[in-house]
Structure 1
């Protein structure tokens, strides 16, 4: 995403200023035209009204009929000019001879301008012409006596310069208003730009676009499914991994914009939005697909405005857990064997240096005999080499811990038809034996018995210890996730054990009494490899 040449604030200010200036400019043109027309009409009406007033004056009529002196009518015209602020008031007879004029020397001379003809024929009108006083707007009105006979005409003139001045005065207010409007527009543009800039956290559009692209790429690239809702419960975000899981569950419709309650009725996202409390590692069933979900509220300014859930197919998590559990068990077994082997080497080294060769020979012979007996029994009765190696490692670990671990197997245990069962068995046996070893660690008698029996496609696993035992209340909670009598950050082993037994469709029976030890019996359907069709 390329960086813009101008900042968002500059663009907003310029855009608003241009829009305001154009709007006010066009308005000024339109209104100016109206004002000009209105001012001109006002001046015309003013001239006509003065002319009419003059034409109705009895002194004017008497002067035109010869019954009054011309000096009186000249004084009257001058008085009208001064009071109405017109350029001239001229009274003429039917021959067009002036009886009044601002310049006394023009009295008795013909009217100039050439536009008086229609007025002497009884017509009232307004015209623009040039006379002795320059260009002017002229209003003509015929003068009629009491008998209805026209005896002359009155002409009232307003200088065009005065008309233009009146128009300019009218436009002056409009121009001032336009400038004030532009100034207010600039101030408003600056305020708007700053507000938008603050709302966008000071980011420019190109930066917002880049963040959006990066956010989208990150959300689409993660393996966990992600779905988000707003405060109204509408789905606002679904990434690629979530869509894949939804399709696997038979939800083909595009979820964006839909109500979360309609699309996923069993979800708790709406409750998370209202409560503001997160939920971690929860199981949810989507039409047969089990997922592990983390639900977290989206909080803005200490107010929940939505919720987001991240989830993953539980099958994938189980496979990963099985692999990790198997590797850890193998590593523990190898470490125990290596430690035991180093201890024996130290004994052998000591006997060699002290030259106690007879004792050395007996020690090596006993070790080899014990090893052959122990390893031979396990490998003979447990056909699966992975499981056999694991059991041998547990024997070494138990000896290293000072615990007597005995393994009994009445019938040979063949390899399973499905190799995945081996990993589950390692999880089950490993957790049972580890718990038993911990249970007897502080007991005077440190004894653990492991019994394996295979008959009629059923594998029986029984682990008995001489530990402190459990009360009935503890037995009811011992398989719960996170429950432990050994302190914090514990309580996962037996929970994982119960999950593995459930996956194999097996059964677990716990027998225990305080100070009497504990007995775990597990029964699992087990089909041998040589029995497959």
Structure 2
């Protein structure tokens, strides 16, 4: 059993929460440190300013110089302490004897802390942290001078360190509350981000996406059809193995992925699909001489065309075989018609023999023989290619079987062809045009079809005319397209094969719709065999 995969939402939420926690803890530590340092600087600055102010006060100076005014020092310092939230303001004389203190019982006693010597002995301002009668405190000392510039004492302004710690702790609690709120917001944000990403990924987990990608690649590579896709910038994004085989056959050996499609396949028309947004089905295309049958479709995501895809198969050999088989099929149908006609006549002869109608039988046999001789004399005598002659005789039998009067006029002798492939294509041309002509006169009283065949200067000329319903103008513009038919589904290949065969032989095809019927005229090069007279 495989290892259980962790869900994407859990991974994202865990990662975001971890990042948020680290950021908040770091931020809390930095803020607490910065706040403590800034608070200490502010308190020191406050203590220094107040100590300087007290050292310049006339109440303090007069109290130190005049014994009678000494009592005003205590009142003055208590009032200043109350308004400035100081722990204490102590005024002392040069012997370190207190003249003021928050605890009146300590007035007249020596200053406690041991950090007053610098200001008393050297007359220098300084700041220190020391333990006194009120506990640990931050102290600012300033010397007191009289009008003559003689130092007469010092003032110490103190702020309890416990008060400073209390302020820092209060800030820390505020920061902690903010961090908890930030963490909750981070968790909610991570949850929403995870849901958003999963919605973009169609609810799939990463391992599921990886599995789908592998399966898609395997599917593309196992397909027999060539597959090529481009993005909206006309760059080739996917080419499977079957496509590369066709490309290699066409002389394209390097991988075309990442290249502009027009550089690799100049006539792929995939760029047109991006513009038109319309699919093209069963379109023949040539790649350096290799014929393929391609389907082209736009790739649409959220109603926007993001690329195009083409699937195709190599039709070079299949197309040749199909054309040959189409001629063989027509030839086989002609022979089947001859066989069927012959069997019908045998049944008639058998019936006459059974009824002993010998005179009528004699006349019937003579009629058959004369008709057959006329056809043989006209067709076989002038058409020296046995395959083509046999096919024409078969079409005569087929026409009679379908109650159609097919008149074949061979103006001159048609020599045997030097290439049997040409004969097969001629069978395709004559057979399909004749079948179309028969369909055109099905509902007409005049059920005649005229065909002429002539040869001159290595060119063969064929004309087939019916006296049917004609061809509408809108049909004329589409009737040579593969699959187009007015006769129903799975039709529409006859005229397409006729045109393809004519173009392959290097000939020309014309048609004209008259007041009554249509005539098709074909001209093709026709090389004859020189070894047959």
Give the TM-score taking structure 2 as reference length. 0.78
**Mapped contact 1:477–1:483 kept (Cα < 8 A):** no
Residues 222-237 of structure 1 aligned to structure 2 (within 5 Å): 222-237=223-238
For residue 68 of structure 1, give the secondary structure of its aligned residue in structure 2.
helix
Alignment correspondent of 2:91: 91
**Residues 111 and 521 from structure 1, CA distance in 2 versus in 1: closer, same or farther, beyond 3 angstroms?**
closer
Partner Cα separation in structure 2 for residue 511 and residue 105 of structure 1:
136
Q: Does 1:114 align with 2:114?
A: yes
Partner Cα separation in structure 2 for residue 231 and residue 474 of structure 1:
36
Alignment correspondent of 1:46: 46
Deviation at 1:165, TM superposition (A): 0.6
Alignment correspondent of 1:73: 73
Deviation at 1:270, TM superposition (A): 4.0
Deviation at 1:34, TM superposition (A): 0.9
Q: Does 1:17 align with 2:40?
A: no
Alignment correspondent of 1:162: 163
**Residues 214 and 10 from structure 1, CA distance in 2 versus in 1: closer, same or farther, beyond 3 angstroms?**
same
For residue 113 of structure 2, give the secondary structure of its aligned residue in structure 1.
coil
**Mapped contact 1:469–1:512 kept (Cα < 8 A):** no
Q: Does 1:132 align with 2:106?
A: no
**Mapped contact 2:51–2:156 kept (Cα < 8 A):** yes
**Mapped contact 1:479–1:498 kept (Cα < 8 A):** no
For residue 153 of structure 1, give the secondary structure of its aligned residue in structure 2.
strand
Alignment correspondent of 1:180: 181
**Mapped contact 1:128–1:135 kept (Cα < 8 A):** yes
Alignment correspondent of 2:61: 61
- The number of aligned residues is 523
**Mapped contact 1:431–1:493 kept (Cα < 8 A):** yes
**Residues 296 and 131 from structure 1, CA distance in 2 versus in 1: closer, same or farther, beyond 3 angstroms?**
same
Partner Cα separation in structure 2 for residue 484 and residue 260 of structure 1:
30
> Structure 2: which 5+ residue stretches go unaligned?
none
Residues 37-436 of structure 1 aligned to structure 2 (within 5 Å): 37-121=37-121, 122-243=123-244, 255-260=256-261, 268-282=269-283, 293-311=294-312, 315-316=316-317, 318-319=319-320, 321-322=322-323, 325-326=326-327, 328-329=329-330, 332=333, 394=395, 397-404=398-405, 414=416, 416-417=418-419, 420-436=421-437
Deviation at 1:38, TM superposition (A): 1.0
Partner Cα separation in structure 1 for residue 234 and residue 451 of structure 2:
54
For residue 113 of structure 1, give the secondary structure of its aligned residue in structure 2.
coil
Give deviations 1:39-77, integer Å, cap 9, x for gaps. 122222232233223222223223333433443323333
Partner Cα separation in structure 1 for residue 313 and residue 105 of structure 2:
112
For residue 67 of structure 2, give the secondary structure of its aligned residue in structure 1.
coil
Alignment correspondent of 2:32: 32
**Residues 456 and 445 from structure 1, CA distance in 2 versus in 1: closer, same or farther, beyond 3 angstroms?**
same
**Residues 28 and 324 from structure 1, CA distance in 2 versus in 1: closer, same or farther, beyond 3 angstroms?**
farther
Deviation at 1:428, TM superposition (A): 1.7
For residue 144 of structure 2, give the secondary structure of its aligned residue in structure 1.
strand
Give the TM-score taking structure 1 as reference length. 0.78
**Mapped contact 2:298–2:308 kept (Cα < 8 A):** yes
**CA-atom RMSD in angstroms:** 4.7
Give deviations 1:349-393, integer Å, cap 9, x for gaps. x959x965888xx79x969x97xx799999999898876776676
More deviation, 59-68/141-150: 59-68
Partner Cα separation in structure 2 for residue 475 and residue 177 of structure 1:
80
Give deviations 1:424-467, integer Å, cap 9, x for gaps. 23322321231233244344464556677778765x46464563
**Residues 251 and 113 from structure 1, CA distance in 2 versus in 1: closer, same or farther, beyond 3 angstroms?**
same
**Residues 159 and 518 from structure 1, CA distance in 2 versus in 1: closer, same or farther, beyond 3 angstroms?**
closer
**Mapped contact 1:47–1:157 kept (Cα < 8 A):** yes
**Residues 86 and 8 from structure 1, CA distance in 2 versus in 1: closer, same or farther, beyond 3 angstroms?**
same
**Residues 327 and 31 from structure 1, CA distance in 2 versus in 1: closer, same or farther, beyond 3 angstroms?**
farther
**Mapped contact 2:471–2:513 kept (Cα < 8 A):** yes
Deviation at 1:255, TM superposition (A): 4.5
Deviation at 1:159, TM superposition (A): 1.9
Partner Cα separation in structure 2 for residue 277 and residue 339 of structure 1:
49
Deviation at 1:151, TM superposition (A): 1.9
Deviation at 1:233, TM superposition (A): 4.1
**Residues 517 and 74 from structure 1, CA distance in 2 versus in 1: closer, same or farther, beyond 3 angstroms?**
closer
Partner Cα separation in structure 1 for residue 485 and residue 267 of structure 2:
34
Deviation at 1:148, TM superposition (A): 1.8
Partner Cα separation in structure 1 for residue 518 and residue 283 of structure 2:
34
**Residues 328 and 157 from structure 1, CA distance in 2 versus in 1: closer, same or farther, beyond 3 angstroms?**
farther
Alignment correspondent of 1:500: 501
**Mapped contact 1:233–1:260 kept (Cα < 8 A):** yes
**Residues 17 and 319 from structure 1, CA distance in 2 versus in 1: closer, same or farther, beyond 3 angstroms?**
farther
For residue 126 of structure 1, give the secondary structure of its aligned residue in structure 2.
strand
**Residues 338 and 96 from structure 1, CA distance in 2 versus in 1: closer, same or farther, beyond 3 angstroms?**
farther
Partner Cα separation in structure 2 for residue 35 and residue 478 of structure 1:
86
Partner Cα separation in structure 2 for residue 108 and residue 512 of structure 1:
139
**Mapped contact 1:382–1:413 kept (Cα < 8 A):** yes
More deviation, 388-397/98-107: 388-397
